[in-house]
A and B are shown apart, each in its own frame.
Chain A
Amino acid sequence: MRVRSIRAARRALGTRTGRIGVAVVTAVILGAVFYVVGYPKLFEAYTGVRNGALTYASSVAISDAEFEAIADRLTYDTRFVAASRVTADEKSEFTRKVKTDILMKTPSFRRDTDLRHIEYLRDAGVRRYEGPATCLECHSTMTVHTPDGETVEVDTLEDVLDSVHFTFQRTAAGFSTYGYDGREVNAEGTRPIPVGKIDRACGIPGSFSWTGWAELIETKPESAHGKTVMRSEGCGQCHIGGGYHPATEKMMPFGDVPDVAKDGVDCLICHSQAYDMNYRHVIEDEVGTRWNQDRSMKAAMAVTLPDNENCLLCHQHNMGGDTYEHNKAAEALGYENPRLLHAGAKRANPFSPEADVHYAAGLQCTDCHTPVGHKIPRGTKGTDLVANDLPGVEVACENCHTTAPHTEGTQRVMLNGHIARLACETCHIKELEPLNVVLRDWTKPVWNAEEGVYTPTDILRSGEVGQGFDFFWFNGAGTFLANALGTNPVSPDGYNPLMERLVTLDPDAMREALKPALEEMTKTHEFDVDAYIDELTDTLSALPPKGVEKRVKVIEEKLRPLMAMGESKITPFKLLNARMYEHMANEGPFGAMILPFDYATYYETGNPTDAVNEAVKNPIIRRMYEFPFKAYMMDEFMAYFGVDEWKTAYPLQGGELVDVEPHWMRQTATLMVNHGIQRDGRQCAECHAPDGVMDFDALGYPPERVADLERLPELEAMVEQSLAHSR
């Protein structure tokens, strides 16, 4: 039998077809071996990213007795919190305590509130939490109900690894963002590229997160009296992958993150009611630096579906801000190398019971952002080029509220009428947190004595309307550099924020508003204050005349049609501009390529150019200036940017930065604010007055309509009438 088959094989090899077949099979096998073994190594060598086994000190085995002690404590705490919520309105403290006690002993209440995973883990004999491996024992697949009404079974880990929470980028269509070349990002007719986050409040736009993923900073806070204190910093603190770098492999045309990196997914930060943020700090091992996580058995025993507190462990950072007074994550900065807090807030519209009517009403984040498996929708509107797991899924006020949401008061009909032209947020977000960063100068750091580091100077922080945020027409789409697209439906030609409101500021008002910041900066930096104000208040002055010409042309030809799309409504936007180092070789009419900072150098030395120099040395930034990256994504990226092609001249020549200049972005960015919704909206006269909060002129209304809107005869009649009634 065996002899016969060997003979048959020999005969087959003797033929031409047989030889070709063998060659093909061998090539496929070799290719597969290379893809599995060789390619990851080659990839690591090329990009400079490193992978290694991920271990966490908090992942320790506990005894049965310890398990029960923790279980008792967790159960008591959970019941107590839930019962206290029910009895919170009880006036007498004693009665409240008695009622809370009764409730905590009530079987049906216990059934509804107890942490079910305690029992599951007890029965399964799990005494050590080992990350995804432990979760996947039971949850290897999950049933998902898609928005199309289908029910599918998915691989849980793959579902997580494909979510924006892990990849924070997307190489498919589904952005509400348009390039300055008029094309929808990654839509039909483009070459899809990985994009996910261009967040300009940050010194490190998302695409550069390699240069500041997990950093250890030597700080010299006043309180330490000259001693050095290590602090943690970097993008990785808010991303669930626990590796030594962002999921770089997922950004490439092929390849996958290695299995060792998959072990780093932090399930519990979203799923545990007892996640200890003190475990979230940077650790260093022989491979490099990465973020630690809470893998304690206690956290695992408190597993539930995510609730608001879970989401906010990370997301309050971009909503209320790190230093927002009700930011819970800031109460636990780390057992070692505590995290550095960012003082200015990116959006300054907190989601908290104190600031948001929906939170106070008991709503969960997931009520509006309804997950589909591990994919979570952002909504269909946005200016900020942030990747979205479920692009078509609407997250909007109208999902719950009717088209006539005002149900009380004599004004209700008229208020409902306004919905045709105003976003709900326009009246129901009356201010942002004062921490709101409006103008941040990364190029002139100042010493922060309390933290013992150099920090970028927020020359203007404001939560006030007109200063920290303002109103723009918005049709749901945005430009590549976060500018709301939309137009005045009654007078489209009169509205051009990219040549007006977003590129000019009143120099006198600015001189006044920036006084304290400028005084502080002049102590450390020598510069011409007048020239500084001029540059800031007329950002287009940084463009050559040809650049301005091209800009006007692009706006008229490429952006106007986009502005006129759909239905525009007046919508509030948080304003932001930042002065950063730009590589002028890649400059276009809307700005030039921003360069990242090396956090440690920046914080420790306060020398921003050294920090840029250091960051640009990062192997992956160097690769960006080579042909494969140019062909793979950078040319397309620059096309969206309004620049014809990606120039691969490396900004670092002989150790010196070449063709690198500090500039404000050519236009102020407008970022959506949708949280911090207040129950009581604005009153009529707050806008409809000559000095009202809404600049009707800047919104493009013709002068006679502006005069009319500022002095509405109806409003006067109404006031008279209400006066007459009160008499």
Chain B
Amino acid sequence: MSAKTPHAIRRPRRWAIAPCVAGAFALLAAAPALAEPAPECVRCHGMSTLGYQDRASGAVVSLHVDADAYSTSNHADLDCVACHKAQYGDYPHADAVRDEDLHCLDCHTDDERLARFKLDEVGESFARSVHVTRHGDAFTCFDCHDAHAFDIARDRDQVADVVLDSNAICLNCHQSTETVGMAALAPTALDVAHAWLPNASLHRRHVRCLDCHTPDDPAASHEILAAEDARRACVDCHTADSALLTKLYRHRVREERTRAGFINATVFNDAYIIGMTRNVALDRASVAAFVAALTLIAAHAAARWRATRKAGR
């Protein structure tokens, strides 16, 4: 609630969410598909503070489903019981509900619509990620991705916003002092771990955690690397052939070129990469200066040409 509270709200480990109320199961089973989460579920799960403090980890686990975010998410046309098939007739929901075992690939294997996201590659690289190698099956897709708000197509104008969104997912756990097992990465520890990195907060605003903590291979997008395996060489990025261009920025540059054309996208590229002027204002100023200089030269030449012609006469 209050932004000041030191307790980060975490997604539950699994689809431990039990978004239905008394009698709603029967009711929903009979109801046609809805474009929003069922009102019966939202009555409780719409409460923004619905949740509990986990006894093992001490973290506050939110059971809130934001109906607005859901209705614009990729899953908006699914009703609650499409995924949550356990018994919800009881309140509080029975323990069986909490053990509900859901995975993205349960639904999305061989899904043609999602072919371009190569979910099998995602699954494989995820299995190699430090999250899985350290925490095993306890770590699921939903520890990072909120299926109730998941919106792959969400477009952000500014790279900085994409970075903010992406890093928020990581910081949700890695900045929390409450999360057991992550205690060594509590805020100060996170800073200590990145103490070697100059301008750490500037990096955090412009570069995704993933840019250093995943391998360069696009097929390994979900293979999160541990600190010791992550990228540490400054020159990897701060070079003409920046490693950043293998990831988000490559995508952005491509997008930008389609949208603005090659020349514009190159000139007005607002990505922050050493070696080029990536300040929009400076870019514009230098283009303006360049154009002004050309104009002046042209004017001067024209004037001289006219003067010469007059004199010749």
Interface residues of A, Cβ cutoff 8 Å to B:
394, 396, 398-399, 402-404, 406-407, 410-414, 416-421, 713-714, 716-718, 721
Give the dominant DSSP class at B's interface.
loop
Give the complex CA separation of A716 and B22 in angstroms.
Answer: 9
Cβ distance B162 to chain A, nearest Cβ, rounded Å: 28
What residues of B have a CB within 8 angstroms of the CB of A399 in the complex? 4
What residues of A have a CB within 8 angstroms of the CB of B51 in the complex? 403-404, 413, 416-417
Partner of A713 from the list B9, B23, B53 (CB cut-off 8 Å) is B23
Partner of B49 from the list A410, A416, A713 (CB cut-off 8 Å) is A416
B34 interfacial contact with A, CB 8 Å = no
Give the nearest-CB partner of B50 in chain A.
Answer: A417
Give the nearest-CB partner of A402 in chain B.
Answer: B7
Give the nearest-CB partner of A412 in chain B.
Answer: B52
Partner of B48 from the list A420, A713, A714, A716 (CB cut-off 8 Å) is A420
Contact A403-B52, Cβ < 8 Å, known A414-B44, A418-B47, A420-B47: no
What residues of B have a CB within 8 angstroms of the CB of A416 in the complex? 49-52
Cβ distance A441 to chain B, nearest Cβ, rounded Å: 41
Task: Give the interface size class of chain B.
Answer: 20 to 34
What residues of B have a CB within 8 angstroms of the CB of A420 in the complex? 1, 47-49
What residues of B have a CB within 8 angstroms of the CB of A404 in the complex? 7, 49, 51-53, 60-61
Interface residues of B, Cβ cutoff 8 Å to A:
1-2, 4-5, 7, 9, 21-23, 43-44, 47-53, 60-61, 63, 89-92
Give the complex CA separation of A726 and B294 in angstroms.
Answer: 90
Partner of B4 from the list A398, A411, A418, A717 (CB cut-off 8 Å) is A398
Give the nearest-CB partner of A421 in chain B.
Answer: B47
Contact A413-B4, Cβ < 8 Å, known A714-B44, A714-B91: no
Partner of B53 from the list A407, A714, A717, A718 (CB cut-off 8 Å) is A407
Contact A714-B60, Cβ < 8 Å, known A398-B1, A416-B51: no
Partner of A410 from the list B2, B7, B47, B92 (CB cut-off 8 Å) is B92
A402 near B60 with CB under 8 A, answer yes
B50 near A403 with CB under 8 A, answer no
Give the complex CA separation of A412 and B51 in angstroms.
Answer: 8
A413 near B63 with CB under 8 A, answer yes
What residues of A have a CB within 8 angstroms of the CB of B53 in the complex? 402, 404, 407
Which 9 A-B pairs have CB atoms at the shortest separation, nearest pair first?
A717-B22, A417-B47, A417-B50, A419-B49, A420-B49, A420-B48, A402-B7, A404-B53, A404-B60
Give the complex CA separation of A399 and B7 in angstroms.
Answer: 11
What residues of B have a CB within 8 angstroms of the CB of A410 in the complex? 92
A718 near B91 with CB under 8 A, answer yes
Partner of B5 from the list A403, A417, A716 (CB cut-off 8 Å) is A403
What residues of A have a CB within 8 angstroms of the CB of B49 in the complex? 403-404, 416-420
B91 near A394 with CB under 8 A, answer no
Partner of B23 from the list A396, A406, A419, A717 (CB cut-off 8 Å) is A717
Give the complex CA separation of A402 and B60 in angstroms.
Answer: 8
Partner of A403 from the list B21, B60, B92 (CB cut-off 8 Å) is B60
Q: Which of B21, B47, B61 has the most chain A CB atoms inside 10 A of its CB?
A: B47
Give the complex CA separation of A142 and B273 in angstroms.
Answer: 50
Contact A413-B1, Cβ < 8 Å, known A404-B60, A721-B91: no
What residues of A have a CB within 8 angstroms of the CB of B50 in the complex? 413-414, 416-417
Cβ distance A472 to chain B, nearest Cβ, rounded Å: 19
A714 near B43 with CB under 8 A, answer yes
A714 near B7 with CB under 8 A, answer no
B5 near A398 with CB under 8 A, answer yes
Cβ distance B259 to chain A, nearest Cβ, rounded Å: 39
Give the nearest-CB partner of A569 in chain B.
Answer: B1
Give the complex CA separation of A591 and B118 in angstroms.
Answer: 70
B2 near A403 with CB under 8 A, answer yes
Q: Which of A403, A410, A411, A419 has the most chain B CB atoms inside 10 A of its CB?
A: A403
A414 near B22 with CB under 8 A, answer no
B90 near A717 with CB under 8 A, answer yes
Assuming A420-B49, A717-B22, A721-B91, what are 19 further A-B pairs, CB within 8 angstroms?
A396-B2, A398-B2, A398-B5, A403-B7, A403-B51, A404-B61, A406-B52, A407-B52, A410-B92, A416-B51, A416-B52, A417-B51, A418-B47, A713-B23, A714-B91, A717-B21, A717-B23, A718-B22, A718-B91
8 A–B pairs (Cβ distance < 8 Å), ordered by A = A402-B53, A403-B7, A403-B9, A403-B60, A404-B7, A407-B53, A414-B50, A418-B49
Give the complex CA separation of A636 and B1 in angstroms.
Answer: 37
Contact A717-B5, Cβ < 8 Å, known A402-B60, A417-B44, A420-B47: no
Give the nearest-CB partner of B54 in chain A.
Answer: A404
B92 near A413 with CB under 8 A, answer yes
What residues of A have a CB within 8 angstroms of the CB of B47 in the complex? 417-418, 420-421
